[in-house]
Amino acid sequence: MKYFSQRSFLPLAAPLLALSLLTACSSDGEEDVYVESPVEELYNDGHNALLAKEYEVAAQKFDEVERQHPYSIWATKAQLMAAYAHYENEKYDEAVIALDRFIQLHPSNKDVPYATYLKGLSYYEQISDVGRDQLMTDEAQKTFRDLIKRFPNSKYARDARIKLDLTIDHLAGKEMEIGRYYTSRNQCIAALNRFKNVIQKYQTTTHVPEALHRMIECYIQLGLDDEAKRTAAVLGHNFPGSEWYLDSYQIVERKRLVDKEEPSWYWPFEEKDTLEMLEEQDGIKAEEEILEEEDLPLKEKDSSWWKIWE
């Protein structure tokens, strides 16, 4: 086979490239003449394909709008519509790339809040179960935070806040999954660290009651009865109607840590949130704070947390 040398090829490259822009050979040897289409026609074709759920065709049509008419006002709209077509086609990586490009090229465009929201959704739709890597959860969280920070009054910010809460709950679930794994392998210190992370970083999530309960189990297994008793008091104060509280109470009762003759046997506390109360323990070897009976709020003088179950 005969090859072109570099010198002989270069003079031919320019005319061949120009020719390739005008014609293309089909599989049967016939040439298809390239014809530039009106911008309105291309955009409408893309829109119609989108309505017909032909998302790949729609993305191609919108890309053609920008390629053939880069300076048209429709080109900017087409960029965003192409990204949306990729999103609907569940090609989330392509959607993120297109959205990042739109945001970078048009930072002051009125549709940037929507583009940021759609980018967050593209990550959000890829969130897997808690047993897998949480990279997409982290990316969704960062994108929604960015949207809320930059466009707090945007109509997309409200849903972003809801989904942000869900991503936070998901990350807390991941910590719980790891903590349970360590517990199953009797690695109580490692498990405690994971459960404490849930209390410290994700204290508004639905996983907090279980995290407190698991901490009690770990403390009991480590022989740290005082810490177990204190944590049970925190759980009882903040989640008195929780099933985890009932389970925890049964645990400390079996260990005979409940002295029903002494109403203030548990760690006395004021009105504090879960994180603040646990921080006062200062780790596993916390120093117990003793409060006088007269210093306690009235409602805590009258009843103990365990009496709720009687």
Q: How far is CA 289 from CA 231, 257, 281, in A?
A: 13, 17, 9
Residues in the chain: 310
Residue 271 phi/psi, 5-degree rounding, is -70, 100
> Does 80 score more than 80 pLDDT?
yes
> Does 24 score more than 70 pLDDT?
no
d(CA 171, CA 72): 44
What is the mean predicted confidence (pLDDT) over 280-306?
37
Q: Tell me whether residue 212 is exposed, middle or buried, using C-beta atoms within 10 angstroms of its C-beta: 0 to 12, 13 to 18, 19 or more.
A: buried
Closest of 249, 309, 237, 240 to residue 276, by C-alpha: 237
Query: Residue 63 CB: number of other CB atoms within 10 A?
Result: 18
E strand or H helix that includes residue 118: helix 112-124
Bigger pLDDT: 249 vs 48: 48
- Predicted confidence band of residue 215 (pLDDT cuts 50, 70, 90): very high
What is the mean predicted confidence (pLDDT) over 237-256?
81
Contact of 169 with 205, CB cutoff 8 Å = yes
DSSP 283: S
> Does 304 score more than 70 pLDDT?
no
d(CA 194, CA 119): 30
Bigger pLDDT: 307 vs 257: 257
Strand segments (E) across the chain = 23-25, 31-33
pLDDT value for 23: 34
pLDDT value for 229: 86
pLDDT value for 76: 93
What is the mean predicted confidence (pLDDT) over 52-67?
93
d(CA 107, CA 145): 17
Name the least confident of 60-64, 100-104, 192-196, 300-304. Answer: 300-304
DSSP 132: S
d(CA 2, CA 230): 85
> Does 224 score more than 50 pLDDT?
yes
E strand or H helix that includes residue 31: strand 31-33
Burial 17-31 (b: 16+ CB within 10 A, else e): eeeeeeeeeeeeeee
What is the mean predicted confidence (pLDDT) over 81-88?
96
DSSP-derived 3-state class of residue 178: helix
> Does 19 score more than 90 pLDDT?
no
d(CA 276, CA 192): 17
- Predicted confidence band of residue 196 (pLDDT cuts 50, 70, 90): very high
Angle at 83 between CA 77 and CA 85, to 5 degrees: 100
Name the least confident of 132-141, 150-159, 206-215. Answer: 132-141
- Predicted confidence band of residue 35 (pLDDT cuts 50, 70, 90): low
pLDDT tens for each residue of 95-149: 999 999 999 999 999 999 999 999 999 999 998 765 566 789 899 999 999 999 9
Contact of 49 with 58, CB cutoff 8 Å = yes
| 218's tokens | 């770990």
> Does 88 score more than 70 pLDDT?
yes
> Does 51 score more than 70 pLDDT?
yes
Bigger pLDDT: 196 vs 281: 196
What is the mean predicted confidence (pLDDT) over 165-177?
90
> Does 38 score more than 80 pLDDT?
yes
- Predicted confidence band of residue 307 (pLDDT cuts 50, 70, 90): very low
- Predicted confidence band of residue 310 (pLDDT cuts 50, 70, 90): very low
Average pLDDT value for the chain: 76
pLDDT value for 12: 36
What is the mean predicted confidence (pLDDT) over 153-163?
94
Q: Tell me whether residue 176 is exposed, middle or buried, using C-beta atoms within 10 angstroms of its C-beta: 0 to 12, 13 to 18, 19 or more.
A: buried
